[in-house]
Structure 1
Amino acid sequence: MSDVTESEVAEGAGNAGAEGRKGRGRLMIVGAVAGALVLASGAGAWFLMGSDAGSGTGSAAVADVAEPHFFDLPVITVNLNNGGGAPEFLRLSIALEVRDPAAMAMIEPRLPRVLDTFQVYLRELRRSDLEGSAGVYRLKEELHRRINLAVYPASVDNILFKELLVQ
């Protein structure tokens, strides 16, 4: 019938059982690692989002935030630096975001200095400096830096472009 003896059959069954135990061990290790990752991510989410939810300080912090005040600058129109080619213009309409209304009173007398600072910077820009969202973001950051230097004791929180036209 068969050339396989009973001892070979018993030996093969023993090897299959050992391989099954190895597979089950690997499965338990993978399951333990996955469980640890789930617990760690849950703990991280709790610390980032909700660790102070029961303390009651979250609503007090929201109540302390003041409404922003906006100060409109006059429309600025400048020639762009184009290397002697056809004239190109930049037209900006800007609003300044300020937290404190007293800061607005400090900015108003310094408005000629702010406009001069903007004019000097904007006249050196090229059309390629304003291309894409990265160019507009760089412009916004540079104007924000320059206005905070010009109105020093006061501070401007943000610059908002109401109109940005390159022609």
Structure 2
Amino acid sequence: MEPSQQDEETEDRGDGGDRPGSVLLAKRMARIALRCSRPLRRPAIIGMIGLVMGVAVLGSAWALSRPSVEVAITALPAPSTYVNLPAFVTDLRPDRGRRAVVRIALVVRVPAAHAPQLTDMNAAIEDAVQVHLRDYRRRDLEGAEGAQRLRQEVLEIVNALIHPAKADRILFREFLMD
């Protein structure tokens, strides 16, 4: 044997003696371990690739299943204007022999283009609201609920009279009961 091979085949035991073949044995065991570990690495690598592919497929499916963003272009509403209606006084239905009177001044919000039509219908609106109010008793109009109900009913009356135009809000400028 050559001296370089002998160095590879011997190992220092620490007690000053050399054991021939221990380096060779270590190299052989390393080769065997390397061969054995290769098959173990393959399934791990294949598993990792499968995991990455699965996440990619699921992520793509989720992204494609989301609704697409659609932009809707809507026209801006026509500018509105407030139209003051003249104040009027009407009697309410008597309650327990007691008569009541209500004074109302309304403000109606309509699209600016329909304001002249509303102004032309002032007399008809006043008449319809007075007829409607004569069915009420004083207690029907008391409180926030009574005022809100009356506001909604007056809005329906106004919209019926100015159709096809449409008012979108009624405000009470004055609302007095006696």
Please give the range of the TM-score, normalised by the shorter of the 2 chains: 0.5 to 0.7
| Greater relative CO, 1 or 2 (CA 8 Å, sep 6+) | 1
Please name the residue that 1:76 is paired with: 88
User: Any residues of structure 2 matched to 1:129-148 within 5 Å, and which?
Assistant: 129-148=140-159
Pick closer, same or farther for the CA change 1:134–1:159 going to 2, 3 Å: same
The alpha-carbon distance between structure 1 residues 164 and 110, as it changes in their structure 2 partners (threshold 3 A), is same
Structure 1 residue 83 displacement after superposition: 4.1
Mapped contact 2:95–2:138 kept (Cα < 8 A): no
Shift of 1:67: 3.8
Bigger radius of gyration among the two: 2
Q: TM-score, normalised by structure 2?
A: 0.55
Is 1:64–2:72 an aligned residue pair? no
| Matched residue, 1:35 | none
User: For structure 1, which runs of at least 5 residues remain unmatched after alignment?
Assistant: 1-51
Deviation at 1:107, TM superposition (A): 1.6
Q: In the alignment, what sits opposite 1:118?
A: 129
By how many angstroms is 1:103 displaced?
0.6
Find the residue that maps to 1:152 and give its secondary structure: coil
Cα root mean square deviation, aligned: 2.4
Shift of 1:161: 0.7
Distance 2:132 2:85 in 1: 16
SS state at 2:165 partner: coil
Is the 1:114–1:151 Cα contact (8 Å) retained in structure 2? no
Q: Which structure shows the bigger proportion of residues in helix conformation?
A: 1
Aligned length: 111
Percent of aligned positions that are identical: 30
| Deviation of the 1:65 alpha carbon | 4.4
Residue aligning to 1:87: 99
Distance 2:177 2:156 in 1: 22
CA contact (8 A) 2:110 2:167 kept: yes
- Residue in 2 that maps onto 1:161: 172
Tell which deviates more after alignment, 137-146 or 76-85.
76-85
Structure 1 residue 163: Cα displacement: 1.2
Alignment match, 1:21: none
Task: Name the structure 1 match of 2:161.
Answer: 150
Q: Compared with structure 1, are the counterparts of its residues 140 and 83 closer, same or farther at alpha carbon in structure 2 (3 Å cutoff)?
A: same
Q: Structure 2: which 5+ residue stretches go unaligned? A: 1-68
Tell me: CA distance 1:65–1:148, structure 2 relative to 1, closer, same or farther (3 Å): closer
Residue 95 of structure 1: how far off its partner (Å): 0.3
Q: Give the deviation of 1:108 after TM superposition.
A: 2.1
Using the size of structure 1 for normalisation, the TM-score is 0.58
